[in-house]
Amino acid sequence: MRAQAKQPQTSLSFGLILTCLMVILPTYAFSDTLRIATDEWCPYDCIPSQNQGKVGYLGDLMEEALKARGHEVEFVEVSYYRGLQLIREGKLDGTMACFREEAPDFVFPDFPLGMCIRG
C-alpha cells in the first residue's frame, strides 16, 4: 500500500518539473536576435538612420510581437530586392513589407497588417 501512495506523488513531481521545463526552455532556447531587412517605404517600413530612429509602424508591430516571444530585433538597412535576396541566402531572418507575388516562398501572416494600393 505504501508503494501505491508514493507513485502519485512521484508522478506529480515529474509532471511539475516537466511543465516548468516546457515553460522555461522555449524562451531560453529561442531568445536570440532576429535580423530584419528594412528599406524606405514610410510609414510602413522606414530606414531608422534617415527617420530619427523610427522603423515604421510595421517595424513597431514586429518588434513588440517578437520581444513578447523572447527575441531581440536588429533592423538591417538594405534595398528591397537585396533584402529578399539576403533572406533567401539565410543571411537575414525576414522583412517587414513585401508582396506575396515577389516572394511566394516566404511565410506570410493570415491577414495583412497594412495595405498599399498600387496603381
Picking from 17-21, 60-64, 72-76, which range would have the lowest pLDDT averaged per residue? Answer: 17-21
For the segment 88-116, the average pLDDT, to the nearest whole number, is 85
Picking from 7-11, 29-33, 63-67, which range would have the lowest pLDDT averaged per residue? Answer: 7-11
- pLDDT at position 53 is 84
CATH class of the domain whose range is 32-113 = alpha beta
DSSP for 60-86 reads HHHHHHHHHTT-EEEEEE--HHHHHHH
CA distance linking residue 59 with residue 35, whole number of Å:
12
Residue 52 has pLDDT above 60, yes or no: yes
Residue 13 has pLDDT above 70, yes or no: no
- pLDDT at position 100 is 85
Adjacent-strand bridge partners of 38 = 77
Model confidence at 21, in pLDDT bands (50, 70, 90)? very low
Question: To 10 degrees, the CA torsion angle through 66, 48, 43, 114?
Answer: -20
Contacts of residue 42, Cβ cutoff 8 Å, sequence gap at least 6:
51, 56
Residue 92 has pLDDT above 90, yes or no: yes
- pLDDT at position 17 is 52
pTM: 0.66
User: Where in the chain are the domains?
Assistant: 1-30, 32-113
- pLDDT at position 47 is 84
Percent of the residues in the chain that have a pLDDT greater than 70, as a whole number? 70
CA distance linking residue 38 with residue 60, whole number of Å:
12
